[in-house]
Every structure is written in C-alpha cells, then in structure tokens.
Structure 1
Amino acid sequence: MKRTRSGNIDGFAKSPRRGAVQSLIGVAITAGIIAAGIGALVLSDALDVTGLPDPGPATSYGLPFVRAVGQVSAVVAIGNFLFAAFLVPPQSNGVLDADGYRALRLGGVACAVWATCAALLVALTLSDVSGVPLQDLSPLDAWSAAGLVEITSAWRTTAVVAALVAAATVPVLRWSWAPALLAGALLTLVPLAVTGHSSSGGAHDIATNSLLIHLFAAALWAGGLLALLSHALRRGSHTDVAARRFSAIALWCFAALATSGAVNAIVRLSPSDIMGSTYGRLVLAKALALCGLGVLGWRQRRTAVVALQSNPSSRGPLLRIALTEAALLAATFGVAVGLSRTPPPAAPTEPSPAEVAIGFNLPESPTLIHVLTNWRFDLIYGTAAIVLAVSYFAGVCRLRRQGDSWQRRRTASWVLGCIVLLFATSSGLGSYMSALFSAHMFVQLLMTMLIPILLVLGSPVTLALKALRPSADNAIPGPREWLLAALRSPWARFLTFPVTALLMFTASGYGLYYTGAFDAAVADHATHVLMLGYWLFSGTLFFWVVVVAEESPLRASAIVRTATGVAGLVQFIWTGMMLRNSQTVLGESFYNSLRLEWHTELLADQRLGGAILSVGAACTLLVVAALLLSARSTTQAR
C-alpha cells in the first residue's frame, strides 16, 4: 500500500469511511431480516383476518424486508440532513464544509434508496392486498393501479417525494439549503403515518396524531445517532460539538417518542391485549427496546459526551455506546415493521359512522356547556400551544437573569394567543369543528386572525434574539446565528413581501371554499391537520407584515401595509357574505355520512358560518386599523 506525505497508508485512510457505510448497511439488513422473520410468524393470522390467499414467499418475506430497509434509509437521510444543517458548522461564506458535504451526500444516497424501496413497495403491497403473486404483476400495471388502494397510493407518493428530495441534494453546496432538505425528508414519512392501523376505526384522530409525532421523533433521534456514528467513524472534525448538540435533541426526541408511543398503544390496546395478543406482545417488546435505548442514551450523555468535551479526540466511548445503540435500533426497526404486519386486536364494539369518519362520536348538539367541558386534547396543536408558552416564559426568564427587561403586555399577548390556540383545537369547539360548518368557521376565524395577531404582538423573534447568546463554540453557528440567517435569507424576504403574504392569506378564504378544496379537506384527517397549520402560518405571516413587528425581514411602507390589511380582510368579509347567500352546501355528503341526529339543517348552519366569518373579519379590520393608528402615533411621538 502507498504511503502519503502525512504518514498515513491509503488503505487505512479510507477504511473509516468504508466502516461508516458498512455500519449503516448492517443496520438496514439486520432490521430487514428481523422484520421478515416476524412477518413470517404472523402471516397465518394476517391471512385469516383478511381472508386473502397467500401471495407467495416473494411478497410475504420481501415486503417486510424491503419496508425495513427503506425506513432505515429514510432515517439515515433525515439524520444526515439534520447533521449537515445543525450539528456541524459550515464555512464562513455559508458553503458546507467537508463534514457537512459528506453528510449531505450520504443523505442524498439514502433518500434515493428510500425512494427505490418505496417504489418496490407499491408492487409488493398490491400483491399483498390482492393475494396475487408478485411475479404475476407487471411493474407498469402495479404503478398505474396504485391509486386504487390507499396504502399503495401512499407508497407511490412517498417514492415520488423521496426521489425529488434525493435529486435536490445534487446541486446543493450551501448550508442554507440543508434545513429545507431536512424538511423534505421528514415529509416523506407523512403518507406512512396517515395510513395503516392508526388511520382507521375509533379514536383514529388521536392515533394518527400520535403516530406522526412518534415517527418524526424516532427519525430525528435514530437518524441523528446514525449520522453521529458515521461522523465519528470517519474521524470528522467538531465531533465534540456535534455530540453535545445531538444529546440535547435526543433527550427531547426520547420524551416525545415515549409519550406518543404510550398514547398510541393506549388507544389501540386494552390491558388484557398486551400479553393476550401477538400485537400486544410486539408493542411490549418495542417498549422494552425503547427503554434500553433510553438507558444507552443516558450513558452516552454522561460518559461519551463528557469525554469528548474534555478531549475532542476521545471518540472511544462514543463509538462503543453508539454501536450498541445502532444494533438495538436495528432490532427496534425490525419489530416496528413486524408490528405493522400484525393485525391489531378487534375493537370490542362496532364504531359509529361518526367514529369511523372523524375518530369520535358527538351524540349531543353543541351547547355552550358542551363546548366548554367536552375537551379532547389535540396532540399536535395542543402540545404546540403548551410548548410555545413554556418556551416564551423560558426566554423571558433568561432575559431577566441577564438584567434586561421585557414588556408585560408582550408576554400577556403571547400567553393569551397560546391559550386561545389550546382552546380552539382541544376544547369542545375543536371537536365540533369536525362535524359542524359553523364551528369550523369559528375555529378558522381564531386560527387565521385572533391567534396570529396575539402571537405577533408578543414579538417572539425579538425575544429570541435578545435571550439567545451568541455562539461561543469558536464561531461555530448556534441557535441565534441560525435565526439571524433565516431572517436574512431570500426566502424570508419573499414570504414577507406584502403580495406574497396577501395571496397566502386569501387562499385560506376564497381559495378554500370555491375551488373544491374544502370537500376534499373536510373528510380527511391528515388534510384537516394540514389545514389548521396553514391557517395559523398564513395568518401569522400576514399580520406580521401588516402590523410590522420590529424584527420583520422586509419593512413595507405604512400605505402598503394598510392596503394589504384592508385587501386581505375585505376578502374574508366578501367570502362570508357569499357563503351566507349560497344555495350549495359545502361538504354535504361528508356531513350526511356522520348521521348525527341533531345536525340536519346543513344549509342554515353554513349560512351561520358565513355570518361568523364576515362579522369576525370586520371586527378584525377595526382592530388592525387601531393597531396601525397606534403605531403611527408612537412613531410620530418619537
């Protein structure tokens, strides 16, 4: 072997990189073998439940194997994009350094593997749900028929999105694109979360939300760990910083993973099912594996991270614990895929039409008492409201410890916004919005107007910039530097351009109700969750531009802001008037399918919803006018 000037031997210089790739391949293959083994064990039970013929060994063994390999690949992609975006620093000019570039390229390859596996799973799943042997299905026929089955359609969507993300990594050289690639890779998990066991039957709203949180937390934790392991095996730089930052992420992911997994199990299983069914025993095995990973993560935090902080070249403890974690992760992924192949215990009672459609029953008409007392906690937006409030308080406390002051009215505005967000999504109002157009419209009014105004007046970005300390890691960017980079990015200037904010805001009004989008959104839980998020985002962006918080990336003139605010809110007033005068019932087939005895006057309820929107938008217009006049008076006084 040839010796270089530095004294290294070429073969040994390359071996760390090969070792990193071999470790990842080993995790994927181990997970696939375990998943295929569990799939074989539960095959007869699955065939008994479905009544389908055996599709043959190529499908019975290949489907769980390919699914496990694909999911490990997805996790590797997510972890490496996370690593390039937030765990290691870019160069001073914003271009990725060698470690970030390697992680990005590895993430792109992993995403391509994920896309390939998802494409294969279209045919394998179609064979599985039809009982037709895989060799009797042509690839073209399988791909074109994927839209006929929900799960195969989900795999086709995953394949397309993953392929797009993989292709997008090819030209990327700058750090600013790494967070976007991370978001895209996380998006590939969504079709998987909104199909399968959790998406059907009673309480599927809670089950689906908990599964979304579970998958995202697991992907960030496991993917970050595998990316950190690969980096350490490659002997990359800044391992001490990456390990410390990942340790903080892993702690929060573990908490989210454990909580969401417990919620999902409680919804699906009774205590007797835990040991009395194969599904329950696999859930228990997965929970035990999670506990083992938690113990190893605690040891990683207490020993490996501490060793690296005292000596950045001391990678031994990190590698030993991380390799053990990787082996246990492989087993956990195999069990998780095997669990998806196992029929869950049958529900004790037949769910009502409302439970099938929205996840829960609403036997009584909406009264003020029912709205105030019939709480059903929203795992996504209810949790977000609590986290946002706690994070804001933490920022205020840190600011005061630094000797700085913070206006109480800003804190009060932010906290009130979080309380309204919790009420809108988790109280009886949030429950009735799924079955009642007027309640739906009232929640939209809160999510697009009242809550965003309260949050914007809380000035959270200003608080973050004051509370977060500049990075002390030898000029390595930290949270404050990431926030500043986001505010100064072309994307931030584009989004805060008045026309952009106005178009996004009006799309949630006229664009939702007069393009056919509402009929598609009202019947699907995943679209319902996305719709709530879009309302909150577009409303916050709109009022950030109109009210002009001082940290806005693009500061428009007072005339432009006033015109934008009037145009957006008048559009909502007009939309409400059109709904009030319309003779066509939106979502009629869906509302009728719920078979709620107290809800029969659909057109009258829609007209009430239109009136709520018009009056609410008019009141908001008055509030915005008062805020703009107050801001103008303050500016003149200065």
Structure 2
Amino acid sequence: MGADTKPSARLWVVLTAAVGVAVAVTLATVRAGGGTAVRIPGIPDAGAATAWGLPVARTVADTGAVATIGALLLVAVLLPGGKRLGEAQLRYLLWAAGAAALWAVGSAAALVFTLSDLFARPVGEMLSPDVVADFVVNDAQGRSYAMVVAVAALLATVCVGIGTARWARWALVVALLGVLPPAFTGHSSAAANHDSAVVSLALHLIGVTIWVGGLLFLLVAAARREEAAVDAARRFSPLAGWALIAVAASGIVNAAVRLPGFGDVFTSRYGLMVVAKAVALILLGAFGWWHRRRTVPALRSGSRRAFVRLAAGELVVMAAAVGLAVGLSRTPAPAVPDAALSPAEEVLGFAMPPPLGDFPWTPLFTEWRFDPLFAFGTAAAAVLYLAGVRTLRARGDTWPVGRTISWLLGLVVTVLATMSGLATYGKVLFSVHMGQHMVLAMTVPILLVLGAPATLALRALPSAPKGGLPGPREVLLKLLHSRYVRVVSHPVVASVLFIGSAFAVYYSSLFETLMSSHLGHVVMLVHFLGVGLLFFWVIIGIDPGPRRPPYMGKLFVLILTMPFHSWFSISLMSSTDLIGAGWWNTLDRPWVTYPLDDQYNAGAIAWATGDIPVLITTIILAVQWVRSDTREARRIDRSIDRGDENDPLAAYNAYLASLHARDRRQAAPAASSAPAATPAANRQPEES
C-alpha cells in the first residue's frame, strides 16, 4: 500500500496547532519573563514591534529549522533505500526545501529585529542595506544570523535537485551545523564558564532538532500511510532515546551555568521557566516510553491510529517546549553579585588561575573545570562499551578483561586531560597546553585502540535479517571498509596527518585563532585526539580495517615518523618567535615574566613525553608480532596434523615430491636404453 497522495486534513490541523502553540507559549513566556520592558520616557526604545516581533521571528525560524532537519533525517536515515532516492524520499525533499525557505525568512526577520533590539531603534529605521551590512560584518550576532540565513537559503535551493542518499546525508549535516552559530553569540557565550555554557547549548540544539524534527516527520509518514513508516519508527526509537539524554543533560548544565544558586530555581522567573521546561521534558520522556511499549509494536502489526494520536499529542507538547525555550532566551537570568568580569575572565570564561609556584602538581589536579562535550562523550563511550561486554557475557562469549581495562583507562585519562588543571592551565600556559596535546595525541589513543571498540561492536551488535534493512553493525562494517577510511588509514597518510597537523597548527595563525574561540579550542583538542587515534590504530590497532600493513612495515612507519616529532619539539625549543603571541598578550598574565621560557618548556615537554609512548608502542608492536607468528605456527601445525590440502607447507612438500617423482620418471627410460653390463669374468683386458 503506497502513501496517500495528500496529507489528511487532521494532519494539517495537528501541524497548525503545534505552530500555534509554539507561538502562543513564546509570547506568554516573553510577557511573563519580562522580555518586553516597560518604556521609560527619555530612554531610547526599540518599540513594541521589535519586542513582540523578535520572539515570533525566532519561533518561525526554529520551526523551519526543526522541520528541515526532520525531513532530511527521514530521507537520509530513517527511510530505507539504496544509493538513489526513491519516490517517497524525493517527495520529502520538497518538504525540506519548503521548510528551509521558512527557516531563511524567519532568520532574516530575526536578524533585523535583533539589530533593532541592540540599538534600541524602531525596526523601520534599521532596514537600510548599509546598516544591515555593517551589522553583519562587524557584529558577532549579525554574522551568526547571516550564516544561518545563508545555510537555510542554500538548503532551500539544493534540496530540490538532490537525487542520491549521499547528498541527502551531506544536506542533513549542513542543516545540523546551521543551527549552531546562534549558540556561540547568545546569552551563554557572555556568561561566566561560557565554555561549558556554549558547548552544552550546542548539544542541546542538536538534540532538540533531531528529536522534534524526527518525530514530526515520523508522524507525517505514519499519517500518510507510508509503507516504510514501520522501519522508520524502528530506526528512530534509539535515536530519540539518545536525543532525550542529550537534551536533558545539556539543559541541566546550561541552567546551572546561568543560575547563581539552587535557590534561584524557584524564586526567579528564569528558574521557574527552567522548571516548566523540565516538566515538559519529563512528560515527553513518558510519551517516548509509551511509544516503545505500546504504539510502536502496534504500528508494526499494522495499526497506525494509536501511534498517530500519541505522536500528535507529543508534538504539541514539544511545540510548547520550543516556545518556552525561545521565551527563556529573552528572559534575563538572575543577577549575580559583583558580576563584573575581568579582561582575562571575558576571554577565558573563568578567572585567571593562580600561578603554579613551587608545587606545580597541586593546582593541576585541583583546578577542575567541567566540559560537557568530553564529559558526556566519555560517559557515553563507557556505557556503550560496558553494554557490549555485558551482551557478550550474557550469551556465553568471552571478552579479554585487559581490553576493557585499557578502554576505561583511556577514557579516564581523557577526562583528566580535558577537565582537570591541564585543561584550565592549558589555556593560560603554552607548556601545559603542550602537555595536554601530548596526552590526547599520544597517550589516550594507545589505550583506546587497544580496547578494540569496533571489534566489540561487531561481535555484540545483532546482524540485520537477510533481505532486511541494514542495521548499526552493517553500517559500521561499511564505514570500516569505505573508500574514505581506506585513504586516511594508509600509513603514509596517517603519519602525515599525525605530524603535519602539529606544524600546521602551531606554525601559522591557526593556533591563535583556535585559542581565541570556544568552538575552535574544542575542535583543536578533538583533532589532536582524532589524528592520534588514526595513527596508533594503523600501528597497533586490533580492530579490522581496509588494510593491515605487515609488522615490519608498521615498525618502519613508526621509526620514520618519530624523527619528525623530535624535529617539531626541537624547533619549539629553539624558536625566538613567540607562537600565539596575540592570545598570550590578551590574557595579560601577571605571573608569567618570560613567555619564551614557557615556550621552551613546551618544546621540552613535547620531546620528553613523545619518547615514552613511542617506546611503549614499540614494545606492544613487538609483542603483537611474536603472538602473530606463534598463532601462525600453531595454525600450520594443526593443518599438518589434519592433512589439510590447503596448508602451504603441505603443498610445498607435495611440490617437492612431484619434482622427485618427475626426475625418477625421466631417469627410468634412460636406464632401460643403456647397453647391458658385461660380467667381470668375461671382460677382455684393455690394451695398453
């Protein structure tokens, strides 16, 4: 049974009601939260049009963003298909294009209203092209809104012409990136501990858009009686669960950053709105639990009514939560006493830490700072790994304890490198930053690759039924043997990325740029960890891949790469130019007298900490080599004992036997044609 040619009237009623609820809740929360200030005579005011128009424009933009991501998620991930998109997928791409157009219009309106709000001038006076262009070029909020408008307009244009699954997935990635720029210029970016606030808000936005957008178009697909709606619901269920966890955890972190204390949760308007969002989240979690228990099984059996009704109610609650979020962004957080930030605190997000002094180890282990990305990432990695081990144990399979210990220890070291004093002083001292870099690039990867997470996943994940949709296991296999992984896992490419990226980051303006941006700093740390994982996976990795170099080749790559690392370290120690001088001068560190001495220490740390991991890697590689030869010898012995015809040694012996038999056959005719020997008694004496 195919899909209905047109959405039902009830579906349009539900979608219209959801948008209406979002707008109504937005206006109500803006009013209740004090987002529309009372006009005071003599003080410039943007006017009522901006006060009410800005939240409405943001609600429209958010609705368009959610719908765009939901439609692309349905096309690229949830609906089954091959490399070429099917008729249903192409149809929902048109929905994505229309939603992206709405996203672009709402974001453009929000840009103009934001300009009016910042300059406290009526919106009509802000419509000059020169004024808007100056706002876009010179203001961070203007640039962020312009980026969103550009992304939305691009998607509205290209979604119409997409015909393959690969391009649909790229469009989804672009759409997800398009919702992030406002996170780095809003209230969270101006708060204390803004690193945590910004990262948590970015995770929050990603989780919300995937969750709400996916449910929206899952409801559309079910209401239109799409044949693949059941498969889409099965794929969306675990995705929605992870999105719920991301939204809840990131929301808690963001609220903790914005609220001065726990008492302000119930005594301030901002705190009460946070409570309202938490109640909505709990209610949505209950909806999801009911979906998993009742409506999804009913949908699989062919009954769609219960699923559609519950999803419609869930969508309305989600719309109210989106309205609360927009209203919350317009509500001022409770004032913090003595909230004036120092120049260093404005750029760091936290107060300048004390000097290390004579006992440097103490502050490095006491100046902890929470980082949502690495905290949630390592927690999820630990839970998933342990769940995989439990799955194997439950069915009677074994998994080496050493691999589990190695994986968990690698995650613990990651937490130490990204949330302890190494992270705090890594933004203040180049030497500590280099230690953080070396730990993430050369210590953590060794521990993580020895944990063999891909091998565990391939053994623990169930295989998709024959002829059915590919599951996570099939997707992982396809990724491990993809052309991209084949290219980057080449030993030469992995070595160039591992060593070359250090020269590219530190010996260009890139380092100063990345250190000056919250997002850039996170990207730099993730990059160091990523190239380290890639390099050591090639050298000592256990997980399968598109190529497995011989052990002699691995040892050669390791020996060839390390001199370049030493060269990098020596160049830092001998350089007379201060790397990232603009960033260090901005901090105005009163207890750093000679920055070049700190840079010399950074080079020394890079050199010293590089030798130990190399030695450990060489020992691990030698042990793996010996074990591989031992396994191969045992395999050959077993083949010989079984008389296996495919055994290479047996084949070689058979080949030698065939040569011997051939020589004997050739010698036999020659012997038969020779004259008979004369008896010794009848021989005539030879003449002298």
1:145 alignment partner, SS class: helix
8 Å Cα contact 1:84/1:178 also seen in 2:
yes
The CA deviation at 1:404 is 2.6
What is the CA distance between 1:421 and its match in structure 2?
Answer: 0.7
Quote how far apart the aligned CAs of 1:407 are. Answer: 2.6
Matches within 5 A, 1:199-598: 199-269=189-259, 270-309=261-300, 311=301, 313-349=302-338, 350-366=340-356, 367-472=360-465, 475-556=468-549, 561-562=554-555, 564-566=557-559, 568-598=561-591
| TM superposition shift of 1:563 | 5.6
Contact 1:201/1:351 (8 A) holds in 2: no
TM-score, scaled to structure 2: 0.83
Q: Whole-Å Cα distance in 1 between the matches of residues 557 and 130 of structure 2?
A: 49
Question: What is the aligned-residue RMSD (CA, Å)?
Answer: 3.0
Structure 2 CA distance, aligned partners of 1:138 and 1:30? 33
Show CA shifts across 1:523-544 (max 9, x none). Answer: 2212111111111122212222
2:77 corresponds, among 64, 67, 86, to: 86
Q: How does 1:68-147 map to 2 (within 5 A)?
A: 68-91=59-82, 94-136=83-125, 137-139=127-129, 141-147=131-137
Provide, for residues 406-430 of structure 1, a one-character-per-residue CA deviation record: whole Å limited to 9, x for no partner: 2333223222211111111122222
CA drift of 1:612 comes to: 0.9
- The 1:28–1:628 alpha-carbon spacing in structure 2 relative to 1, beyond 3 Å, is same
Q: Which amino acid aligns with 1:339?
A: L
Q: Could you tell me whether the CA contact under 8 Å between 1:433 and 1:440 is conserved in 2?
A: yes
| 1:3 equivalent in structure 2 | none
Aligned residue for 1:476, secondary structure, equals: coil
CA distance in 2, matches of 1:34, 1:597: 49
From the superposition, tell whether residues 47 and 143 of structure 1 become closer, same or farther in structure 2 (CA, over 3 Å).
Answer: farther
Bigger mean CA offset, 14-23 vs 114-123 = 14-23
Q: Which residue of 1 aligns with 2:675?
A: none
Partners of 1:502 and 1:568 within 8 A in 2: yes
Residue 160 of structure 1 pairs with residue 150 of structure 2: yes
The 1-side partners of 2:268 and 2:527 are apart by: 40
Deviations 1:435-470 (A, max 9, x none): 221111111111112111221222211111111111
The code of the aligned residue for 2:182 comes to L
Work out whether residues 31 and 69 of structure 1, in 8 Å CA contact, stay in contact via their aligned partners in 2: no
Superposition pairs for residues 600-619 of structure 1, below 5 Å? Answer: 600-619=593-612
Question: Is contact 1:521-1:528 (8 Å) kept?
Answer: yes
CA separation of 1:100 and 1:554: change in aligned 2, threshold 3 A:
farther
The 8 Å contact of residues 207 and 263 in structure 1, kept in 2 or not, is answered as: yes
- SS at 1:15 equivalent: coil
CA displacement 1:314-343 (0-9 Å, x = unmatched): 111111111112222222212211221222
Tell whether the 8 Å contact from 2:368 to 2:421 is kept in structure 1 after alignment. Answer: yes
Deviation for aligned residue 1:433: 1.2
Aligned amino acid, residue 447 of structure 2: L
Are positions 1:196 and 2:172 aligned together?
no
What code does the residue aligned with 1:461 have?
A
Q: Which amino acid in 2 is paired with 1:490?
A: R
- Check conservation: 1:99, 1:231, Cα contact below 8 A: no
Following the alignment from structure 1 to structure 2, what is the Cα–Cα distance between the partners of residues 232 and 196?
37
Change over 3 Å in CA distance of 1:158–1:572 after alignment to 2: farther
Shift of the 581–74 alpha-carbon distance from structure 1 to 2, 3 Å rule, reads same
SS in structure 2 of the partner of residue 343 of structure 1: coil
After TM superposition, the structure 1 stretch with the greater mean CA deviation from structure 2, 318-327 or 205-214, is 205-214
Q: Deviations over 1:1-47 (max 9, x none)?
A: xxxxx9x9xxx943326765675465345424543554466354398
Determine if contact 1:32/1:65 at 8 Å carries over to the other structure: yes
Hey, what does 2:56 align to over in structure 1? 65
Sort the Cα spacing of 1:52 and 1:470 in 2 relative to 1 into closer, same or farther, 3 A.
farther
Counterparts of 2:605 and 2:184, CA distance in 1: 31
In the TM superposition, what whole-angstrom CA distance separates every residue of 1:448-499 from its partner, at most 9, and x where no partner exists?
1211122122221111111111124961221111112222333322332344
Letter in 1 for 2:99: A
Following superposition, the deviation at residue 608 of structure 1 comes to: 0.7
- 2:180 aligned partner, one-letter code: V
Deviation, 1:517, is: 0.9
How many Å separate the matches in 2 of 1:110 and 1:565? 51
Q: Deviations 1:178-210 (Å, cap 9, x if unpaired)?
A: 444333222122212222111123222222222
* Counterpart Cα distance in 1 of 2:550 and 2:150: 42
Report how far residue 636 of structure 1 moved: 4.1
CA distance in structure 2 between the aligned counterparts of 1:581 and 1:573, rounded to whole angstroms: 12
Q: Alpha-carbon deviation of 1:371? A: 2.0
Q: Tell me the CA shift for residue 564 of structure 1.
A: 4.7
What do the CA deviations read for 1:160-179 (whole angstroms, capped 9, x no partner)? Answer: 33444555544543434444
Structure 2 unaligned segments of length 5 or more: list them.
633-688
Aligned residue among 171, 187, 193 for 1:181: 171
Matched residue pairs, number? Answer: 623
Q: Which amino acid aligns with 1:304?
A: T
- What percent identity do the matched residue pairs reach? 38
1:627: how far off? 4.0
Task: Verify the 8 A CA contact 2:35 2:332 in the aligned structure 1.
Answer: no
**1:556-597 Cα shifts (integer Å, max 9, x gaps):** 466765565455543332222222122232334433444554
Distance, in Å, in 2 between the alignment partners of 1:172 and 1:20 is 26
Runs of 4+ in 1 over 6 A off after TM superposition: none
CA deviation string 1:329-364 (max 9, x = no partner): 222212211221222222212334443222223442
Aligned 8 A contact 1:193 1:211 in 2: yes
- Deviation, 1:510, is 0.8
CA-CA distance at 1:90 after TM superposition: 1.7
Partner Cα separation in structure 1 for residue 205 and residue 439 of structure 2: 29
Deviates more, 1:366-375 or 1:428-437: 366-375
Alpha-carbon distance between aligned partners in 1 of 2:35 and 2:367, rounded to the nearest angstrom: 41
Q: Structure 1: any 5+ residue segments left out of the alignment? A: 1-5
Q: Which amino acid is 2:52 matched to? A: Y
Offset at 1:387? Answer: 1.8
SS of 1:552's equivalent in the other structure is coil
Equivalences for 1:36-47 in 2 at 5 Å?
A: 36=27, 38-39=29-30, 42-45=34-37
Counterparts of 2:615 and 2:348, CA distance in 1? 36
Distance, in Å, in 1 between the alignment partners of 2:122 and 2:559 is 61
